Amino acid sequence: MTIPTVQPKAYVDTLATVPIFASWDAAYLLSFAEQAPVRAYQQGAIIYAPEDPTETLFLLAQGQVARYHLSADGGMVTTAKLLPGALFGDMALLGQAMHGHYAETLTDCVIYALAREDVLTWLLSDVRVVESVLRVVGERVIDLEFQLQIMALKDVPQRVAATLLFVSERQGGMLDLPCRHEDIASFINSTRATVTKVLNQLQADDMIALRRGFITLRDLDGLRIAAGE
Amino acid sequence: MTIPTVQPKAYVDTLATVPIFASWDAAYLLSFAEQAPVRAYQQGAIIYAPEDPTETLFLLAQGQVARYHLSADGGMVTTAKLLPGALFGDMALLGQAMHGHYAETLTDCVIYALAREDVLTWLLSDVRVVESVLRVVGERVIDLEFQLQIMALKDVPQRVAATLLFVSERQGGMLDLPCRHEDIASFINSTRATVTKVLNQLQADDMIALRRGFITLRDLDGLRIAAGE
DNA sequence: CGTCTTATGTGTGCCAGCACACAGACGGGC
DNA sequence: GCCCGTCTGTGTGCTGGCACACATAAGACG
């Protein structure tokens, strides 16, 4: 699998929209964009796998990436669908192995790949940036805790409702969510068939509207109750 | 509930053993210990609860703290048992609410309580310290992913075996683990009775030895197989 | 406007492991 | 030595939701 490089300058605009870089001035940003290594990936490429010992921090510039875990017998949980601006591969920062942890492109992608030292040099020398990095990692912790909490404490119908609300909030309150039943199933550790049943019930209760590939939230308060608060 | 303050200087020795401060020189450390606010908590005290909007980062100096989630109907998952040197309350760093997330003392404790600004001032101004903080938060991510992974992908017997190995590693390879069946149950989202059954099976297979309050690992390879790798 | 792929709807067993309920056992405190 | 609280062993239903198996439909694509 070849990983073509791309012209760095083309992505300055994208970088400027990333929270991490919000506090940087244009010159510094351009300097970063010119020097940081960028890679282009095709859809379905594995960006890292558990065996992979690379100490690399990735910054998604374009496209979508899924982060998931696999078990020996074929089971799978999705932990996140990443959009441009997302940082990932952050365990690289600690030299920790990532047991059963994969990242895969869902579309063609453009991704910055930063070595551990680069990260410390470029990102962590500025307190404002440090704060941003901590925010990103912290958000990751929040996500994981949410997922853990619903899987441990709620049944499938509650998990579905809670997840719809959670995703909507993460997208800035967007009510028309582009996702398939299977996406939800793999996030809440259930099955596509079960999720379909639950969604149809929620639709019958007039809390959501279903279209192929989309779910529209119609009654947030109702969903909150269905989620068990 | 009163929160008595304690003499800061008494804990310099404790601080010195904390990874975060490993790179600091004695004078700086003393200066920190004298100025940082310290609190003493009694056993069973709630350090923070979901309603709590405090932007405070806690640093455990003495004692043990449990971090857990509660659901509306009484369910509970433990996410960690913290030992001296642990940082927690880190979502304070992002101003995120912590849904259903509690921290409670398991013993009498001495804890540094750092305001958000103090954190940025004292901790994040030194790149080496930043690295340490990231390592701690990253370890937290690893823990959460481990827990999520086993709960999503493994059945109860596998979860128990995997957890025993995980805890042992986290304790630096200690083979004699001080824990009750219930502790494990609450970590892997199962019940005390089920865990007891599994542990007895593992003992019958000569992989562990059981004593009241303790579990001794006898066959790590066997456990790894039992854990499904 | 057919064809083909991917998404969605629905039904039938079936079982891991929970809820519940006691009984015995260890150990600390007095 | 005795008492009592906490831990531990074990048994008996029950059930959520998974595994499996199709059937239908909505777009994509030429």
Of A224-228, B25-29, B36-40, B151-155, the one with minimum mean pLDDT is: B25-29
| A100 DSSP assignment | T
8 Å CB contact of A138 and B137: yes
Inform me whether the pLDDT recorded for B218 exceeds 70: yes
Q: Is the pLDDT confidence value at B34 over 90?
A: no
Q: How confident is the model at residue A2 (pLDDT cuts 50, 70, 90)?
A: very low
Phi, psi at A228, each rounded to 5°: 75, 40
* Alpha-carbon gap, residue A29 to A196, rounded angstroms: 45
Nearest nucleotide to B182 (CA to C1') is D7
Strand order, beta sheet including A87-88: A38-41, A109-115, A56-62, A87-88
Strands in A208-211's sheet, in edge-to-edge order, are: A176-178, A214-217, A208-211
**Cα–Cα distance measured from residue B52 to residue B95, given in angstroms and rounded to the nearest whole number:** 11
Whether the per-residue pLDDT at A1 is higher than 50: the answer is: no
Supply the pLDDT for residue A152.
Answer: 96
More confident residue, B56 or A153: A153
Give the residue on B whose Cα is nearest the Cα of A77.
B152
pLDDT band at A174 (very low <50, low <70, confident <90, very high): very high
The three-state DSSP-derived secondary structure of B114-154 is EEHHHHHHHHCCCHHHHHHHHHHHHHHHHHHHHHHHHHHHC
Condensed to tens digits (0 to 9), the pLDDT of residues A3-41 reads 555 555 566 777 777 777 777 777 777 887 777 888 889
Check if the beta carbon of residue B98 is closer than 8 Å to that of residue B48.
yes
Label residue A209 by pLDDT band (50, 70, 90).
Answer: very high
**Best mutation target, A141, A142, A154, to test chain B (most B CBs within 10 A):** A141
By the 10 Å C-beta count (0-12 exposed, 13-18 middle, 19+ buried), B207 is classed as buried
Helix, strand, coil shares of chain A as percentages rounded to 5? 45, 25, 30
- pLDDT for res B94: 61
How many whole angstroms separate alpha carbon B162 and alpha carbon B147? 10
- CA A156 → C1' C13, Å? 20
> Could you report the per-residue pLDDT of B165-211, keeping only the tens digit for each?
999 998 899 999 999 999 999 999 999 999 999 999 999 999 999 99
Q: What is the DSSP letter of A11?
A: G
Helix (H) or strand (E) holding A136: helix A127-153
DSSP state of A18: S
Query: Which element (helix H / strand E) includes B33?
Result: helix B26-35
Of A70, A93, A149, the CB nearest to B138: A93
| Residues touching nucleic chain D (CB < 7 Å) | A 75, 155-157, 189-191, 193-194, 211-212; B 180-182, 192-193, 196-197, 199-200, 210, 212-213
SS3 (DSSP) at A75: coil
Which pLDDT does position B1 carry in this prediction?
Answer: 45
Chain C: nucleotides under 7 Å from a protein CB?
7-11, 16-21, 26-27
If pLDDT is split at 50, 70 and 90, which confidence band does B38 have? Answer: confident
In this prediction, residue A136 carries a pLDDT of 80
Determine the distance between A136 (CA) and C12 (C1') in angstroms: 46
- Name the amino acid, one letter, at A40: A
Residue A176's pLDDT band (cuts 50, 70, 90): very high
Four-residue CA torsion sign, A142, A70, B136, B219 = positive
Q: What CA–CA distance (Å, rounded) separates B102 from B85?
A: 19
What pLDDT score was predicted for residue B213?
Answer: 95
What is the least distance, in Å, from the CA of B10 to any CA of chain A? 30
Q: Could B71 and A154 be called an inter-chain contact, meaning their C-beta atoms sit closer than 8 Å?
A: yes
Of B55 and B94, the one with more pLDDT: B55
Give me the mean pLDDT over the A117-127 stretch: 74
- Say if the Cβ atoms of B139 and A94 lie within 8 Å: yes
User: What's the pLDDT score for residue A191?
Assistant: 97
Which of residues B100 and A77 earns the better pLDDT score? A77
- pLDDT for A95: 56
Average pLDDT over residues A140-165: 95
User: Beta-carbon neighbour count of residue B161 at 10 Å?
Assistant: 25
Which stretches does DSSP call E strand in B16-135?
38-41, 46-48, 56-62, 65-70, 76-82, 87-88, 101-105, 109-115
pLDDT in tens, A124-149: 677 777 777 777 888 888 899 999 99
Q: How confident is the model at residue B2 (pLDDT cuts 50, 70, 90)?
A: very low
What's the predicted TM-score (pTM) here?
A: 0.90
Could you say which of B127, B142, B189 has the minimum Cβ distance to residue A125? B127
Question: Nearest-CA distance from A4 to chain B in Å?
Answer: 30
**What does pLDDT average to over chain A?**
86
Q: Which residue has the higher pLDDT, A31 or B64?
A: B64
Separation between Cα atoms, residue B64 and residue B84, nearest integer Å: 7
* Average of per-residue pLDDT across A146-166: 97
- Predicted pLDDT of residue B5: 54
pLDDT at B83 over 50: yes
- Residue A206 confidence (pLDDT): 96
Residues of B in contact with A151 (CB under 8 A): 148, 151-152, 189
pLDDT: which is higher, B117 or B144 = B144
Can you tell me the distance from the alpha carbon of A48 to that of A35, in angstroms, rounded to the nearest whole number? Answer: 22
Residue B151 has what pLDDT? Answer: 97
